[in-house]
Structure 1
Amino acid sequence: MLLTAFIPLVLAALPSLAQDIVYDSAHNATTIVGTWSTGSKAVSTGAGFANPVNQSFIYPNTTGVSYSFTDDGFYEISRYRFNGNGSEPTCITGVMTWVHGTYQLIANGSIVMTPFGDGFQQVQDPCAAVSNFIQLYNETELYQSWRIFLDPVDGPKLHLFQFDGSPVAPQFQISATPNMLPTQSLINNTASDSGSLQSRSQTKRSGGERAWTPTGVGALLVSLVTVGAASLIL
């Protein structure tokens, strides 16, 4: 993220009683502590998604995003996403991301998440020169605001808004107790700051890993449209 994107929120975070977030039942039906997941709730943080020791993933049945927060300032994020390509519809990129670290709730309602430095992601692009590789992912993430509403069917629902105000897909609380890997750096990575990047191609695949090909991607298009329409309804 560009430094300029942080300036307005840094200024907004200066002490001002009029700007302080109000923790009330209308906007925050419960605390942010726990594990949250989007859509079908198939994606969850914790041991069932990523193994930082060997930088591998266990693929869920469907795409989604999951966040976990502790009551003492730690977070974890698991993401499984497809990124479309308007000029080449069959060149859909699959991305698995795992990262954890510490978070801070700012008085104006924003959240700053700072990684430990051992986060990573796997990128699969059937149209790229290197179609499957692992790279570090250790970006500090800034969320402009957040709200928790009480859904009459699924219970607490978390709404996060990114630094530019764009919404993250709504997440439902799947556990009031955070399901997370240990809240400390899990690998000795001396070049894992957000400005450093290491990558390695994947020549072997585990049993739970999927690879996308141009012919196989076509079958995903219908399901992606369905998922996209469902997310608009949520």
Structure 2
Amino acid sequence: MSFRRREVAVRGYRELAEQLRQRIDEGEFLSGETLPRIVDLIDEYDLSRQTVRDAIGVLADEGLVVTMGKGGTIVRNRTRVRIPLSRYTRVLAPGGSKGPWETACAQQGLDGQMRVVQVARVECSDETADAMGLPSGSEVLYRRRHALIGSDDVVQIQHAWYPANVADEAGISGVGKIVGGVYGALAAVGHTPATASEQIDSRMPTPAEATHLKISGKVPVLAVQRLTKASNGQVLELLRTTAPADRIQLTYDDLPLL
């Protein structure tokens, strides 16, 4: 594919980054599409290879694109998922087909999916034990999941821990996906979630998180810890999720003030 040289004068990588940013924002390059190859951008803008590379690096740091090596530079999906607090109460009834993530996505016409990555019985760390009110070294069920839009757009990385006996009673110890979500499975056996407390922090991603989320290490993430308890105060779930800050909108409507 050949490109004519741009009439707009671009002298440095910041100016080129601004030009490409504008073309993305105007829809010339859509989410999931590949930017022109470096050699084509060199020809199009009459710039050096290093200048083009630096400009693409700026866009990657801003979260606009993802560099895929031989796969080229892909325009990143920045669709924001609105996640309301009501996602919990809507999945408490047993027998449903969607969990909280899938429910929140469906309300926005998005194909939300949950993929199980790992399930294991482990001895909880001191930090996890303290958060769950368990003796250090207690056996817990650990589930790691990816919350996606479609089949390959990972938006959240989820790490969840459950008391081993509670997990066994609720039938969530297997490696398969929990149809309808964990909350519905817990409620079905009498472990009805009664309260959910969330703590939200922002930070930079770890290298492993950046790889899974397909972001630069300079794109900030939201780290959410949720502790779910039954009415008797027993901890049912400790969940830690990580997501790019520009992909998630946590909404807490109509909270009681008294």
Per chain length, whose mean CA-contact separation is higher, i.e. which structure has more relative contact order (CA < 8 Å, sep 6+)? 1
Specify the TM-score bucket, using the shorter chain as the normaliser.
under 0.3
The two structures have a TM-score, normalised by structure 2, of 0.22
